[in-house]
Structure 1
């Protein structure tokens, strides 16, 4: 078996993690995959399988469905719940072909299954097919990130974050403190509002949130998936996020009008036509707090209305 401390060789073949509690099964598959040029990792129980997957990020997992302790279905659910391993394809290995077990395998996140006794040729063919698909999807995600299009897919019915690029994961974590498979509450609330508005024929509105000078904007791009539901609330929705830095604008406003950082943020959004309620949602503050800030801003600028204040801001920043 392979030394876990040695670096992985991904140049000649795929990195395959085999999970099975029967040594004879591990040996059979290990020899066949090794001969085909793949790098083989092994685990004999659920917890060690999860640890190996998180550490090595294999290209594919061959997972025994029935193991003592943590079974394969639970292992798959945990791998799919972790953003770091969620995109790794999982092929279940099982001697059970009853419909309920097949459904459980796909429900836990598996992309395919093979039945025991294992035919190594069949397994090699499945590996080739699913790793090719995963590679194309990974390249597409990387291309989106390279052009600044942080992309994610959510399901508003249960608040699940189904798919995201690396950049989207970073932005959600930094702006919403989001981790795992659950979408941030402000995001999923916004999606549900937009889906309802979509059904009523209203124009889509972006979600904007800010942390200091950094601003994230999320736009709903429509339903996705092979089977687009007739019920939009049950469908999967594609979202594109982008980030901007308003630091230079805030500094100019602070210098020109003698404002604090928070007052500059409030005035910036007021100048863009946002209500106190909108500004509170963007900045994570209550409308009452925003109102207090606006009172101080008007005093410092020597104007009586927010319209006059906004006009001065727009003249300053163009």
Structure 2
């Protein structure tokens, strides 16, 4: 079944309909299926939560009043999970009193339609809300394709609204934290630079160190309502000494050891310290440096470090010398 769903997801968007009345499910299922959507159904709250976490639909059409776990509670639980918080929810309700409609929106719904259900109205409302979700998904997919992890953090309460699988691994490795709470250092950094970000001025990046590995965060864009600071898409990229050294080796046509020596020169180390780090004598380090100077066409370690730093920052903008 999962193989079929994965194939379907590549060609159509997935809608989860949640309603305990079979006739309502049937009418909507047929209309959405004819419109090219892949349709999943659930007849109760527990089943809805399970399906949503497994299939990660593009949108949920949710009946407000159901026995057991009602739609309001389902919505709250979906929004409380970093896995499903990004999914738009449209409530379907026969309750038209203002207090019920407000409750639907406060539970996490982006919109509502009233019963009896009119499929054309549902399709129109879905189109409005799926456009934003589609753009956000395309952005995340593009970032992931180039090796960047991403998260969405709500500035007001520091809640981690969404994260890629790679982001989940990195946050656990560097901070030992899991959703729904974002790392305190990340939340503090976000709040400190909100004014700059809102004025479209890119703030300084946040860097976390883990041995020879570094994790860099940068604010990418605001993705939600600006109230209380809004939701922000944060892009993460991990770098390591080994990656930078390899890039220098390829860029300047250096041997691996020459690139390693040049890297530590950039870091401000003297020959004796570099020898201790790479396991060579200071005299051997000096010989490596002489060959580096010749290949770079410079005469001093300051000039070599400056040229290397310029190239590193072109290849790895988040590198801190």
**Partner residue in 2 for 1:241:** 236
Q: Using the alignment, how far apart are the partners of 1:31 and 1:198 within structure 2?
A: 45
TM-score normalised by structure 1 residue count: 0.65
Deviations 1:177-209 (A, max 9, x none): 44323211221133344459999xxx9543221
**Partner residue in 1 for 2:250:** none
**Partner residue in 2 for 1:224:** 222
Consecutive unaligned residues in structure 2, runs of 5 or more: 246-255, 270-275, 281-300, 310-321
- Change in CA separation of 1:102 and 1:239 when aligned onto 2, cut-off 3 Å: same
- Change in CA separation of 1:84 and 1:167 when aligned onto 2, cut-off 3 Å: same
Deviation at 1:13, TM superposition (A): 4.4
Deviation at 1:6, TM superposition (A): 8.0
Deviation at 1:51, TM superposition (A): 0.8
**Partner residue in 1 for 2:45:** 46
Deviation at 1:239, TM superposition (A): 3.3
Q: Using the alignment, how far apart are the partners of 1:194 and 1:39 within structure 2?
A: 41
Q: Using the alignment, how far apart are the partners of 1:177 and 1:268 within structure 2?
A: 33
**Partner residue in 2 for 1:215:** 214
The within-5 A match list for 1:251-266 is: none
| Maintained 8 Å contact 1:81/1:180 | no
Q: Using the alignment, how far apart are the partners of 1:17 and 1:114 within structure 2?
A: 15
| Maintained 8 Å contact 2:79/2:86 | yes
The within-5 A match list for 1:17-36 is: 17-36=16-35
Consecutive unaligned residues in structure 1, runs of 5 or more: 257-266, 273-296, 302-310
| Maintained 8 Å contact 2:197/2:219 | no
Which secondary structure state, in structure 2, belongs to the residue aligned with residue 182 of structure 1? Answer: coil
Q: Using the alignment, how far apart are the partners of 1:198 and 1:84 within structure 2?
A: 26
Once the two structures are overlaid, the 10-residue window that deviates more, 163-172 or 121-130, is: 163-172
Deviations 1:106-142 (A, max 9, x none): 2222222110111122122223343343222211222
TM-score normalised by structure 2 residue count: 0.65
Q: Using the alignment, how far apart are the partners of 1:236 and 1:142 within structure 2?
A: 18
How many aligned residue pairs are there? 267
